[in-house]
Amino acid sequence: MGSKILKGKAVHIAMGKYVAAICYRFFRFLKYVPVILPILIALCGCGAILETGPEVSGAQKENPNFEVVPVVSDILPMVPEITETAEPVEKPVAEKTYAESMLESMSIEEKIGQLFIYALQNEGYEFTDGMARGLTRYKPAGVILFSEKVGTSGQVIKLIEELKRHSKIPLFVSTDEEGGRVSRVGKLFEMPIGPAGETKSAEEAFGRGAEIGRRLLSLGFNMDLAPVADINSNPQNTVIGDRAFSASADKAAEYVSAFINGMHSEGVLSVIKHFPGHGDTVEDSHQGAAVFKYGKDRLFSSELKPFIKGIEAGADAVMVGHISAPNITGDSLPATFSPVMVTQILRGELGYDGLVITDAMNMGAVTNYYGPGEAAILALEAGVDIILMPADMEIAYEAVMGAYKQGRLSEGRINESVLRALKVKEKLAGPEMR
């Protein structure tokens, strides 16, 4: 009987050792659960894990051969939370505009050329080799034609077609067509258009703008240096007079706005002039310095009203006159060269960020005091975008190129003006723009 008991104990001992060995290996396996479990969770997409595992008794803790294995609840904090994350959505890249793409493709020589509009004069009615060389050499923003280039309608049409064809970059083809005494192509049409000062209503001003626009477009012009936004407020002023719509600032403003809308209805660009107002000067800036003798309050309450309305109507450019305003700027600089007038007042206080063009730079108010090169640079430094009719195109172009190379004019500054010009050209309809 005793032997049977001993034999039974031996079996139990053997079985205990066998079970202990299995348990030992099992717990050794659990040691790797922290490594394996996150992988299984990721593969299986398991959303929850049940807490499990034996409690460790005091005796087991005292056993030096017993390995304490963390339960699953202890492991869970080590498992990274798996959440669904949306793939990042790439923001669509804005497509570049015609103007931006054109600017990027241009050389510095082409960009500097876009800062000029020059006159075609004294070369007869037909397109000449000299004109072709000028377009190739300077790559200008545009050209301006005067009555000496106007023979017949057919001749003007052919000339403009050739000008556009020889220009790689779309060309402003401009003229001064105000009606009345400033009319470059009026002789080609049966019915003359009278001076702006005869206008009696906004409807009439609209019709006037539309008719002039229609005539110019039929010949191939795409820009008119009109309307006059000055006020006929000084009887001693001989240069403006009835070129202005009215002696009343409010009426002049209303008619300027209507004229622009009429011209736009025919697809022709309009340029309002002569900022900040040439109506209340005695002097003629064609001959010499012209002075606006009043202060800023008067300027804003009167002279600037038609310009503000013209800008609101969508004028495509503002022409700055060679008019000094010492009681506003504190110096004798013509507005053309005045950062106060162009950058501070026109761009800053009036909020105008469009194209700014000088009045003709071969006028006495400029040539009597400045050389063609320095005049072009000063205008650009003041914030102007396009130099109109420099007294010497070659000297002016080379001076601006020199100012760029010497760091006086940065390419960034040049780009600002060129982009403004290209944005205006972008408005024009027709195959030459695409």
Positions marked active-site? 286, 359
Q: How many residues in the chain?
A: 434
Question: DSSP of 333-394, one letter per residue?
Answer: -BGGG-HIIIIIIIIIIS---SEEEESPTTSHHHHTT--HHHHHHHHHHHT--BEES-SSHH
Fill in the DSSP letter of residue 166: T
CA distances from 185 to 119, 148, 158, 204, 215 (A): 15, 10, 15, 21, 9
Instruction: Single out the residue of 250, 255, 159 nearest to residue 206, CA to CA.
Output: 255
Q: For residues 122, 128, 131 and 135, what is the CA-based torsion angle, rounded to 10 degrees?
A: 170
> What is the spatial distance between Cα 428 and Cα 170, in angstroms, rounded to a whole number?
10
Instruction: Determine the longest span between alpha carbons in the chain, in angstroms.
Output: 149
> What is the spatial distance between Cα 306 and Cα 214, in angstroms, rounded to a whole number?
23
Check: CB of residue 198 under 8 Å from CB of residue 242.
yes
Cis-peptide into 390, omega within 30 deg:
no
> What is the spatial distance between Cα 403 and Cα 410, in angstroms, rounded to a whole number?
8
> What is the spatial distance between Cα 127 and Cα 123, in angstroms, rounded to a whole number?
8
